[in-house]
Amino acid sequence: MEAILWLGVGAVVIVGALVARPLLRNARRKRLRAAPLAPAWRELLHRNVSLYRHLPEQLKEQLHGDIHVFLAEKRFEGCGGLEITDEIRVTVAAEACMLLLNRPRHYYPRLHSVLVYPTAYLARLPSSMGGGGYIEEDVPLAGQSWREGSLVLAWDHVKAGARDGRDGHNVVLHEFAHQLDEENGPADGAPVLDNPARYAAWARGCRHEYAELCRDVKLHRRSVLDAYGATNPAEFFAVATETFFEKPRQLRRHEPDLYGVLKDYYHLDPVEWG
């Protein structure tokens, strides 16, 4: 009887802790989102993040709160001798949180740390030799997203991509799109949708546009989407996200179905931002 009673009390304590933890987290996030953004950080965003300058005021205020939460919950680590500064932290946080505007905010739950190198870094990756064989090679990269724990960025690429908001290349948007994709398992180009009924429309739109991009690359035809998106469906989603935010008019004009799918997913319409 005592053992059963002890287990019962223990279970109540455990359940209580499980319930209290998200309540405390949500209360903390609410306080952080209500805090005003420091004037120096606002100036930094105007200087460094081109997309920020085009945001409507309501979205800017939302973004300010999300930046506070992101910086409170994610650890930044400098690599290759890089010293982490507010400029690095705020620039990365702002672009990462662009993808969360107007959406349920989970703040990349699998991500704990952001590793930042000063420039492109070498990563050992498998390379196909043909015939099913592989070798490992050191490949220069500007960013990597790992499903559990960390995301890696090269600061010079981050800064260049953030300051030019119309070239369709943005390593932060790209790698954090992978984080969204990986919330429900390995990256496959299909992130979590807020309505299961939308998966059919998502598959139809993305499958067709992905196949079209693969054909364009094979035939050396130009596309509004970067050719890297033809690598696989996961890279297609990340490249499409970069294009949606940085070349919205071109994407809507050339690939209206894909633009519509991404507009529904992100609950944003960057064409309206001017």
pLDDT digits (tens, 9 = 90+) for 229-258: 999 999 999 999 999 999 999 999 999 999
Beta bridge partners of 133: 130
CATH topology of domain 188-274: Collagenase (Catalytic Domain) (3.40.390)
pLDDT one-digit tens code per residue, 202-229: 888 898 999 999 999 999 999 999 999 9
The runs of H, that is alpha helices, within 49-168 are 50-54, 57-73, 86-98, 155-163
- For residue 181, give the nearest of 214, 151, 158, 208 by alpha carbon: 151
The most confident of the ranges 18-22, 163-167, 195-199 is 163-167
Residue 51's contacts (CB-CB under 8 Å, 6 or more residues apart) are 95, 98, 162, 165, 245, 246
Alpha carbon distance 61, 272 (integer Å): 17
Alpha carbon distance 271, 249 (integer Å): 6
Given a cut of 50, is residue 100 above it in pLDDT? yes
pTM: 0.89
pLDDT of residue 6: 46
CATH superfamily, region 24-169: Glucose-regulated metallo-peptidase M90, N-terminal domain (1.10.472.150)
Average pLDDT over residues 189-198: 87
Domain boundaries, the chain: 24-169, 188-274
Q: Which two tokens stand for residue 199?
A: 């998966």
Average pLDDT over residues 104-110: 92
Do the beta carbons of residue 26 and residue 245 sit within 8 Å?
no
Do the beta carbons of residue 247 and residue 273 sit within 8 Å?
no
Minimum mean pLDDT range among 74-78, 148-152, 156-160 = 148-152
Given a cut of 90, is residue 13 above it in pLDDT? no
pLDDT one-digit tens code per residue, 25-43: 999 999 999 999 999 999 9
Do the beta carbons of residue 99 and residue 176 sit within 8 Å?
yes
